[in-house]
Structure 1
Amino acid sequence: MNKLSTLTTEMRNEKSVAIDSMSTIDILKTINEEDMTVAQSVQQVLSEIEKTVEVIYEQLKQGGRLFYVGAGTSGRIGIMDAVECPPTYSTSPEVVQAVMAGGTKAIEKAVEGAEDSEELGANDLKERNLTELDVVIGIAASGRTPYVVGALQYANKIGASTVSLTSNTNSIISKHADIKIEVVTGPEVLTGSTRMKAATAHKMILNMITTTSMIKIGKVYENLMVDLKVSNLKLKERAKSIVSTITGSTYDIAEQTLECTNYEVKPAIVMIKTGITLEEAKYYIKEADGFVRQAIELATEGGN
């Protein structure tokens, strides 16, 4: 196994060697300047992210699921992205899942030894009933976490699609992945503190992966979240605003229509845009595989 000290993420950053003697503002400037390089690092791996999204899109269409697997900060980043999908896109919690070394109790406090077990990584995926339709993204800034290695090995054995996400080139986890996303963010301001630049890059990439995948399966109309799950007052107001904005209707009409659809945004848009009933709107949305734009076109053609 590669020595930890030889990894890019473990090297010392020459720009911050004297950080312990800097003023507050100079510490902040140093961190900020290093953070500015993260987006550029992500830009270098867009083609690998594209390949990942295309695989996820194809598998989701067939009923597959997306799994993030990680330990520590990497596991927590996966959880952050996964838990936002149901309220944002009305997906089932089963569609995007995060699997973390040590389980949910490790979110707040590290579980000793959990990340060092390949067997545990494999077993945690077994418990999720992984299939060949699923996609597994193993996340590890170092690229060498045994828990993630074990999960990817098991996923390959099952025939699932596999992706590695790391901040070191030629990483160990990448040897077990179909697609390798190695976003090199360089030495951290605090040596080895990969919750900083590496984690920021990984969070950006996961945002890109789920957002783009959900757009491609019809969860977005124009640049608005038309499949959001209305679960509180803020989201209820957002739903009214979305319907009003897209259809050009008054706020009152948007509210009345949403009351009829039980605050489902997609049928409300189609109903107002085409003048059809809720039942008809749902029919055309289904015919259009969930795409609002196509549903409106189908409803318009059907009425002519």
Structure 2
Amino acid sequence: MEKLSLLTTERSNPKTLRLDEMSIADILKTMNEEDQTVAIAVRQVIPQIEKTVEKVVEAFRNGGRLLYVGAGTSGRIGVMDAVECPPTFGTSPDLVKAVLAGGEGAMYEAVEGAEDDEALGAKDLADLHINGQDVIIGIAASGRTPYVKGALVYANSCGATTVSLSNNENSLISNFADIPIEVITGPEILTGSTRLRAATSHKMVLNMISTTAMVKTGKVYQNLMVDVNASNFKLRERAKKMVCTITEMDEDKAESVLQQTSYNVKQAIVMILAEVDQAQASALIEAADGFVGKAVKLASTE
């Protein structure tokens, strides 16, 4: 078993040796200064993130899924990213999914021992019937969590693409990943509390992966989330604003078209720009693999 004291994330931060004696303002300023280093650390691993996105895009195009696997804070960050994909991009809840050590209850309360159970990590993935089309991202700030290791080992045996996301150099889980991502965020201001900078880096990286993959699979037009699931007033208003912005149509007319499509923003945009009915718009979008701009261009060639 690795000595935790040797991990960068477990070391003491020399800038905060007197943290308990600092004023509130000084603590906050120090936290803010340390947080500013996270984006720089993430920038160093963009090539590995790019490779991951390429694999995720390939998976989505071939019927595969993106699964985040983690324990504690790392797992909860995965849950946060996964649950936002359906409302933001209109995806199935199964397309991007988080697997948390200890199950759903661990989102709100620690499940003791779950993260140390390597076999449980394998079992939880086996229960989801993963295959060679899927991408599995194992997340562990320490880079040595047994639950995550077990999941990655099992995923490799199934032929899935495996990615590790950690915050220490030469992490254990990097040895079990096709694409290792090591974001070196350094010692936390509160020694060992990786819910701070390490967790912030995880949130950044997962946001980058899921958002970019959605852009490259037609879920975005220009910089707008045109596959949004307009399930409440705020999102319906956002849908209307998108249609108005893209088509330069007034709000009343835009809303009328949206109502015809049950607030399917893509269909509404194509109907207006290509001057076609809903059925034709739907067919054009399908032929364009979901890309709105491509769908409009296809209409002009027919």
Cα deviation, 1:44-63, whole Å, max 9, x if unaligned, reads 00000000000111111000
- How far residue 218 of structure 1 moved from its aligned partner, in angstroms, is 0.3
Query: Per the alignment, in what secondary structure is the counterpart of residue 194 of structure 1?
Result: coil
2:94 aligned partner: 94
1:220 is paired with a residue whose SS is: coil
Residues 180-259 of structure 1 aligned to structure 2 (within 5 Å): 180-259=180-259
Distance in 2 separating the partners of 1:23 and 1:150: 43
Displacement, 1:143? 0.3
- The offset of 1:2, in angstroms, is 1.8
Query: In the aligned structure 2, how far is the partner of 1:256 from the partner of 1:60?
Result: 32
Q: Deviations 1:76-123 (Å, cap 9, x if unpaired)?
A: 000000000000001000100000000000111111111101100000
User: What's the C-alpha RMSD, in Å, of the aligned pairs?
Assistant: 0.5
- Provide the C-alpha distance between the structure 2 equivalents of 1:205 and 1:197, rounded to a whole number of angstroms: 12
One-letter amino acid of the counterpart of residue 27, structure 1: I
Equivalences for 1:113-132 in 2 at 5 Å? 113-132=113-132
**Structure 2 unaligned blocks of 5 or more:** none
Give the superposition deviation at 1:301. Answer: 1.5
Q: Equivalent residue for 1:3? A: 3
Question: Aligned residue for 2:26?
Answer: 26
- Aligned residue pairs, count: 302
**Could you tell me which residue of structure 2 aligns to residue 50 of structure 1?**
50
Rounded Cα–Cα distance in structure 2 between residues aligned with 1:129 and 1:252:
47
Fraction of identical pairs, as percent: 62
In the alignment, the residues of structure 2 paired with residue 53 and residue 67 of structure 1 have an alpha-carbon distance, to the nearest angstrom, of 13
2:261 counterpart letter in structure 1: T
DSSP-derived class of the 1:151 partner = helix
Matched position secondary structure for 1:221: coil
Aligned residue for 2:109, secondary structure, equals coil
Task: State the partner residue of 1:108.
Answer: 108
Aligned counterparts of 2:284 and 2:16: Cα–Cα separation in 1: 58
Partner of 2:299: 299
Ranges in structure 1 where 5+ consecutive residues have no aligned partner = none
- TM-score normalized by the length of structure 2: 0.99
- Deviating runs (4+, > 2 A) in structure 1? none
